[in-house]
Chains A and B, each alone.
Chain A
Amino acid sequence: MRSDPAEYQLIAPGTVAEVIRRLADEPGGWLPIAGGTDVMVQYAAGKLSARRLISIANLPELRGIEVLPHEIRIGACSTYTQIREHKVVTEEFPLLARAARWTGGVANQNRGTLGGNIVNASPAADSLPALLVYEANLILISVRGLRTVPYLGFHTGYKKMQLAPDELIQSVCLPRCYSGYLHYARKVGARNAQAISKVCVAALGKLRESRAVDVRVALGSVAPVPIRLDEIERVAIDKPLETDVIARCRAAVVRAIQPIDDVRSSARYRSAVAGNLVVEFLEQLLASGKTT
């Protein structure tokens, strides 16, 4: 049943300072809402349990992409459109630009935000595998100050994360060190726009004389949280990417993931596709002959 707007409060403070003060005064008392592309869907369906919302959509302090010599800092409320159109993101972090392009249609990309995608914590979120392989750091803000945490390990279980009730994500930092890498991403879904992934993968690799010196693979929609496959990295690094190594990587994928049967796909299909995509990535990496 549709929600009754009379039962919901929404406020829109003009500064981040005021938002975090409210969050500190009543931890867990307010649900931040940015572009609304997830929150409003729950609201429309009558499934939004929070009754008091605090808008963070239009705070300039949380928007914009700052390019520094060693990293870029993406304000948490930057939209997918801003991300996919940003020159440095498209050139140096193509996996993130591509994921932004795959998320929803243009109207949702104009509203949906990277920080919202992280906090919404869908196991199928297309942008999160990219953050895992680029080894993003998150800057969190509260009245207690700023703290930086690696995104790897931020999601600890289904919809669980290392974000205190009084904290907001302020920005997402990506180190600018991936030139010379092969960047690989695939989304498998019913269609590209608007379809939630059955499996999505982001991977990075670097070769030296046909040996992998760096290999990173992350998958979405195959476990309660987006996962980075450490075992592949152990199996493949410093080895020539020969058939048996690739086969061992494929077996490692199937062991590491915990896919489920749901409305979008089956565990068996997801398992087979995840393995196939990792093989495709490793074969492309081998073929690319990228060297340092």
Chain B
Amino acid sequence: MNSPARIARNCEVSLTVNGRTETVRAFPMERLLDVLRRDLGLTGAKEGCGEGECGSCSVLMNGEVVNSCLIPILQAAGTTLITIEGLAAGPHLSQLQTAFLECGGSQCGICTPGMILAAHNLLSKNPEPTLGEIREALAGNLCRCTGYMQIFEAVLQAAQRVKGA
């Protein structure tokens, strides 16, 4: 069997990540997740399943939560991304991050960036979600530590604080 033809790693892709314009050189089918972690040093997004089931690689692309393991870098060209690193303002955590800390919504931490970004996606569309809506919005993010209750509580708390602010 002939080995498949190899292409050059010369696809130049520009995108905005956490407010900064970045240009990377990559193979066009490289996964956004790998480019974020390897080329941009943003290791908040984690690889869990690598097939869009677990949500640990979640990032916000043009404001919507997506699985970065399922996006070829070429399809991310020209987009605006926010990773977990971009959610805090300097040393100040976002309301959601604070609520996760206070409620024990994070234990081993693997799912946490994805959980927080999925919750962010929900609250940006629906600032006062019910518990059922929170469960549905986070159903694509798996956690094997918390049993989920502390996570739901954290999202409810963040929503109430934002409302009260």
Contact = CB atoms under 8 A, between A and B. Distances in A.
B29 A10 contact: yes
Interface stretch (A36-44, A207-215, A274-282): A36-44
Contacts of A101: 136
Nearest to B140: A105
Given A106-B65, A108-B52, A36 B6 contact: no
A12 B75 contact: yes
Interface string A2-16: 111111111110000
B9 interface: yes
Nearest to B63: A110
B30 interface: yes
Interface string A50-61: 010101011000
Contacts of A108: 52, 67, 70, 140
Contacts of A9: 7, 28-29
Which one of A2, A6, A55, A191 has the highest number of Cβ atoms from chain B below 10 Å of its Cβ? A6
B112 interface: no
Interface residues of A, number: 38
Interface in A183-208: 191-194
A57 B77 CA distance: 12
A5 B10 CA distance: 12
B5 A51 contact: yes
B69 A44 contact: yes
B70 A57 contact: no
B80 to A, nearest CB: 13
Which one of B58, B70, B74, B118 has the highest number of Cβ atoms from chain A below 10 Å of its Cβ? B70
A7 B70 CA distance: 17
Contacts of A45: 51
Contact of B4 (A2, A51, A107, A194): A51
Given A36-B70, A108-B140, A57 B75 contact: yes
B64 A110 contact: yes
A186 B109 CA distance: 35
Given A11-B28, A106-B121, A110-B66, A194 B50 contact: no
A47 B121 CA distance: 32
A23 to B, nearest CB: 18
B41 to A, nearest CB: 19
A58 B29 contact: no
Contact of A55 (B64, B75, B121, B139): B75
Contacts of B70: 35-37, 40-41, 44, 108, 111
B103 interface: no
B118 A40 contact: no
Contact of A40 (B61, B69, B77): B69
B71 A7 contact: no
A191 B138 CA distance: 13
A10 B58 CA distance: 23
B72 A107 contact: no
Contacts of B83: none
Nearest to A110: B64
Nearest to A111: B66
A223 B29 CA distance: 34
B31 interface: yes
Interface string B16-49: 0000000000111111000000000000000000
What 4 A-B pairs have minimum CB-CB distances, sorted nearest first? A105-B140, A193-B139, A5-B27, A10-B28
28 contacts: A5-B30, A7-B6, A8-B29, A9-B29, A10-B72, A10-B74, A36-B75, A40-B70, A40-B71, A41-B70, A44-B31, A44-B51, A44-B69, A53-B29, A55-B75, A104-B140, A105-B55, A106-B121, A106-B137, A106-B139, A106-B140, A107-B55, A107-B65, A107-B118, A108-B52, A108-B140, A193-B136, A193-B139
Interface of A: 2-12, 33, 35-37, 40-41, 43-45, 51, 53, 55, 57-58, 81, 101, 104-108, 110-111, 191-194
